Amino acid sequence: MGIDVRNEIRDFLSSRRARLTPEQVGMPSFGGGVRRVPGLRRHEVAMLAGVSVDYYTRLERGSLKGVSDSVLEGLASALQLDEDERVHLWDLTRLANSGVKTMHRNVPTRVRPGVQRLLDAITGAPAWVRNERGDVVATNELGRALYSPMFAGPGRPVNTARFTFLDPAARDFFPDWAQTAKDAVAVLRAAAVSNPCEPGLITLVGELSTRSEEFRGWWAAHDVRLQRAGGKRIDHPIVGELRLAYEALDLVADPGLTLFTYSAEPGSETERSLALLGTWAATERAEQYAALRESESESESVD
């Protein structure tokens, strides 16, 4: 089944409660006494959410079935959930009401020709498409050049989370490796609830949990993230440090696929480095083509 829904709900709500203090929610003197555990107490969350203590306790024990939207809104406000966490809470609620098995959907592993043509038409910026478990399913030339250490690895399909945690090159490639790794875990955590029975995702999480202690620790934190836009710092083995902004665009015609594009500040050193990277990629492509033609010529001569 992939995940235990009740445990997922319990751990998510209790972890969100544990990170808040009475001062953060505007009740510095409520409850009094020495706190044996961090975070808000259940009765404090119940008061903020406008529900009884018994009702909130039932929710935190993993029972979201039949909960109204107004209660969910109150709960999200009380726990100060951000936008991604709110989406996650609603996914958990749908999961509780419909059951795990009914929420399975296939994960695309390739793009339509029209999407690949679009990628190839983007010549001045790295661009690539990934599915919800982080498999890179298509890229343009500059995107492949940007992530050349990831494509050089042995694992297939190429996967961003697997590269981040299991390839030693990733720690040099991402100067902010810990934050990049945490974000990768948070994206997978959200996907695991959005599509809980997807075999490839279950296998990937199992592999990373088995092979990476850091992954196991961050997975247990129940943080979630839906990548839409942000910044990325990369130490590229060919052109050095790059400071890039990225935009993530869901492909509406292809549910489960997201297009990422990267850009540099105009006139910046990163912009110049990207141009250099593009030249390097074109040179590599020309050399590969020349080597292929030479091999074909030699084969024809033998025949």
Asked if residue 283 and residue 247 are part of one domain, the reply reads yes
Asked if residue 154 and residue 232 are part of one domain, the reply reads yes
Tens of pLDDT, residue by residue over 14-65, are 999 999 988 888 876 545 566 677 789 999 999 999 999 999 999 999 999 9
Which range (80-84, 197-201, 211-215, 249-253) has the least confidence? 197-201
Domain termination residue (choose one: 46, 70, 103): 103
Asked if residue 214 and residue 160 are part of one domain, the reply reads yes
* Residue 77 structural domain: 5-103
Asked if residue 129 and residue 87 are part of one domain, the reply reads no
Is 168 within a domain? yes
Report the number of distinct structural domains present in the chain.
2
Q: Give the model's pLDDT for residue 299.
A: 62
Domain termination residue (choose one: 68, 103, 138): 103
Please state the pTM of the whole predicted model.
0.86
Is 302 within a domain? no
What average pLDDT is seen over the chain?
90
DSSP string covering the chain: --S-HHHHHHHHHHHHHHT--TTTTT-TTSS-S--SSSS--HHHHHHHHTS-HHHHHHHHTT--TT--HHHHHHHHHHTT--HHHHHHHHHHHHHHHH-SGGG--PPP-S--HHHHHHHHH--SS-EEEEETT-BEEEE-HHHHHHTHHHHHSS-SS-BHHHHHHH-THHHHH-TTHHHHHHHHHHHHHHHHHHSTT-HHHHHHHHHHHHH-HHHHHHHTTT------EEEEEEEETTTEEEEEEEEEEE-TTSTTEEEEEEE--TTSHHHHHHHHHHHHHHHHHHHHHHHHHHHHHHHHHH-
Domain termination residue (choose one: 73, 103, 133): 103
Q: Where residue 268 sits, what CATH number does that domain have?
A: 3.30.450.180
